[in-house]
Amino acid sequence: MEPVLLVEDKAELRAMLRKALERAGYTIEEAPDGKAAIDKVRSRRYLMVLTDLKLPGNSGIDVLREARRVEPTLPVIIMTAYGSVEEAVTAMKEGAFDFIQKPVDLDHLRLLLERAARQQELLRENLLLREEYAARYGFPRIVGEHPTMKDASNMTQRVAATDSTVLLLGESGTGKELFARAVHHLSPRAEQPFVALNCGAIPEGLVENELFGHERGAYTGAGARKMGKLELAHRGTLFLDEIGELPLAIQSKLLRVLEERRFERVGGTQEIEANVRIVTATNKDLHAAVAGKTFREDLYFRISAVPITIPPLRDRGDDVILLAEHFLERFKREFRKPALVLTADARARLRTYPWPGNVRELQNAIERAAILANGAEIDSESMQLPAAKPTAEELPDGMLEERFLWEGPLEEVSQRAVAHVERFKIQNALRESKWNKTRAAEKLGVSYKTLLTKIRGLGLEN
**Tens of pLDDT along 297-345?**
999 999 999 999 999 999 999 999 999 999 999 999 999 999 999 998 8
Are residues 159 and 299 located together in one domain of the fold? yes
DSSP state of 398: G
For residue 160, name the pLDDT band (cuts at 50, 70, 90).
Answer: confident
pLDDT band at 408 (very low <50, low <70, confident <90, very high): confident
How far from 296 is each of 263, 276, 286, 303, 369, CA to CA, in Å? 19, 21, 9, 11, 44
Q: Name the strand (E) or helix (H) holding 167.
A: strand 166-169
> Are residues 295 and 158 part of one domain?
yes
Final residue of a structural domain among 106, 123, 140: 123
Distance CA 73, CA 124 (A): 8
Q: How confident is the model at residue 161 (pLDDT cuts 50, 70, 90)?
A: confident
Q: What is the CATH number of the domain that holds 218?
A: 3.40.50.300
Q: Is pLDDT at 128 greater than 90 in this prediction?
A: no
In a domain, 139, yes or no: no
Q: Percentages helix, strand, coil for the chain, rounded to the nearest 5?
A: 50, 15, 40
Per DSSP, 314 falls in state G
Domain's final residue, options 268, 283, 309: 309
Q: How confident is the model at residue 287 (pLDDT cuts 50, 70, 90)?
A: very high
pLDDT, tens digit, 9 for 90 and up, residues 352-406: 888 999 999 999 999 999 998 888 999 888 888 876 555 555 555 555 555 666 7
Report the range of poorest mean pLDDT among 11-25, 94-108, 337-351, 405-419: 405-419
pTM of the model: 0.64
Q: For position 392, what pLDDT does the model report?
A: 55
3-state secondary structure of 217: coil
Q: Reduced to 3 states, what is the DSSP secondary structure of residue 341?
A: strand
83-87, 97-101, 423-427: range with highest mean pLDDT: 97-101
Residues 166 and 50 in one domain: no
Please say whether the dihedral angle defined by the alpha carbons of residues 31, 32, 37 and 43, taken in this order, is positive or negative.
Answer: negative
Q: Are residues 180 and 304 in the same domain?
A: yes
Same structural domain for residues 406 and 350? no
Look at phi and psi of residue 120 and say left if phi exceeds 0, alpha if psi is from -120 to 50, else beta.
alpha
User: Would you say residue 19 has pLDDT above 60?
Assistant: yes
Domain range holding 60? 4-123
Q: What's the CATH code of the domain at 332?
A: 1.10.8.60
Contact predicate 4/28, CB 8 Å = yes
Residue 15 resides in a domain = yes
- How do 277-282 and 237-241 pair as beta strands? parallel
CB atoms within 10 A of CB 271: 12
Both 215 and 329 in a single domain?
no
Of the residues 309, 338, 354, which one is the last residue of a structural domain? 309
Beta carbons within 8 Å of 321's beta carbon, 6+ residues apart: 347, 350, 351
Q: What's the CA gap between 456 and 191, in Å, rounded?
A: 67
Cα–Cα separations (whole angstroms), residue 119 to 74, 82, 92, 129, 445: 9, 27, 16, 18, 59
Q: How many domains does the chain have?
A: 4
Does residue 391 belong to any structural domain of this protein? Answer: no
Region 120-144: mean pLDDT is 63
Please give the pLDDT value at position 418.
81
